[in-house]
Amino acid sequence: MNCVRKLLLARELSARPGVLRQLAPGLDLLRLQGSSCAQRFWPVPVRSHSKFTPAVKGDQEKDGESRDGSLVPLEELFDRACKGERNKAAFTRAVELFCQRDVRRRGHIEFIYAALQKMPQFGVERELDVYNKILDVFPKEVFVPRNFIQRMFNHYPRQQECGIHVLEQMENYGIMPDNQTKFLLLQIFGAKSHPVRKYQRLMYWFPKFKHVNPYPVPVPLPQEPIDLARISLQRIAADLSAKVTVYQMPLTDILDSGKEITQPHIVGIQSPDQQELLAHHNPDRPVFVEGPFPLWLKKTCVYYYVLRGELLPPGEKGEMLDSERNFYYPMHLDLDLDRGPWDDEEFDVDEAEEGPIFAMCMAGAGDQATLAKWILGLQQNNPILSQTPVVFHLAPGPRELLAASDSEPGEEEIPQSRRAQQEC
């Protein structure tokens, strides 16, 4: 429990703009010692002088700057390194900048907390080598316990917590540590320290979870709408013989008259089974185009449309196996005996029966004209569709969702814009 509280505190501390002091003033040391949350519980001799308290932050900052002018806010380090663009190179530069400043790496804990927080902004939150680089900021071998008493008690608790924090952030982003992480941790904290234990726990669970999802989403997701539609449709269809057809390529063209024409993409999927179902569909009954339905692929949402039929009345369902079906052996026995209860392994499930789904598609636009083109394309392989009435039954579309996600910049965009659609 203590540990968690401390961790939370540490996190809170690091959330404020950190301060880096070039010259250790040492004068506030005693006061700082008393107020440091970790050391309140673990009175261990402090070797690092880079402590700060939120309460005195303002003063210190003024003090420092006025005294030697070398006190640089940690954020600034990142701002200075990035020179306009925030990327991995800039981030590493910032870390290197910090490391080059002082051989003793004063203020490294504050720097690490600040760095961890900055990571998503630089887009490096999923980069293993950046995490290793951050761990590398810790001074080596200083925090390794040297005797059994040190080993028994929490040696350098703030440093250990900070190390755990780094690992925790890796865990949250699903980054698996590698051997370098391990060597760094061993070098910094020594075997059996808390960060190393944390590392061991990660290494126990992460490999087990790595392939736990039987339907993994490809990383990274394809950016091309057609490729994205292809994998999404294959994912929903869950039938390896289903065939994806691109009915229309996306196209933007400017006519001579200056009018701009945009042609949305239309990608459809249909399996041979569905084709057969459609072929046996009674053309007197209408089929429906319905949608859009959302499909989430991690943080991306795509929308699809289905072509479905109505639930058939019981009388018209599938043909009975007649007795003259199989040349070689009887397909059913003429016996008045039923299956006994002990071999009945089916669960008693109430099943809601639904009409058959004949095909699915994803399109760049959800209007009826676009979807009609899809139906037109389907007619090539499903001639019966030209005799069957098709009813468009389209919902207003993902407006609300769009609005909600628009307010969140930084998230991946919703690839398909939708216009409200009337029902006919």
When the beta carbons of 181 and 416 are compared against other proteins, the nearer one is 181
Q: Is 178 in the site for other proteins (CB under 8 A)?
A: yes
- Rule CB under 8 A: say whether 259 interacts with other proteins: no
Selected binder of other proteins within 3, 203, 246, 402 (CB under 8 A): 203
DSSP 264-314: --EEEEE-HHHHHHHHTS-TTS-EEEEEEEEEEETTEEEEEEEEEEPPPPG
Closest CA to 264 of 154, 398, 417, 148: 417
Per CB under 8 A, the segment of 9-17, 91-99, 204-212, 262-270 that binds other proteins is 204-212
Q: Under a CB-based contact definition with an 8 Å cutoff, are residues 27 and 33 in contact?
A: no
Amino acid at 417: S
Pick the closest to residue 170 from 178, 422, 382 (CA basis): 178
Segment interacting with other proteins, rule: CB under 8 A, options 6-14, 17-25, 299-307, 326-334: 326-334
- Is residue 211 within the footprint of other proteins (CB under 8 A)? yes
**Contacts (Cβ under 8 Å, ≥6 apart) of 13:** 37, 52, 54, 110, 113
Shortest Å, Cβ 168 to other proteins: 18
Nearer to other proteins, 148 or 215 (CB): 215
Give the nearer residue to other proteins in terms of CB position, either 41 or 206: 206
Residue 370 to residues 128, 260, 264, 376, Cα–Cα distance (Å): 44, 17, 8, 10
The verdict on 186 binding other proteins (CB under 8 A) reads: no
Residue located via tokens 């925090």: 143
Q: Which of 260, 284, 334, 348 binds other proteins (CB under 8 A)?
A: 334
349 vs 365: CA distance, rounded Å: 39
Residue numbers 94-133 binding other proteins by CB under 8 A: none
Bridge partners (DSSP) of residue 254 are 260
Q: Which of 148, 215, 328, 347 binds other proteins (CB under 8 A)?
A: 328
**One of 342, 400, 407, 410 touching other proteins (CB under 8 A):** 342
Residues at the interface with other proteins (CB under 8 A): 176, 178, 203, 206-207, 210-211, 240, 322, 324-340, 342-343, 345
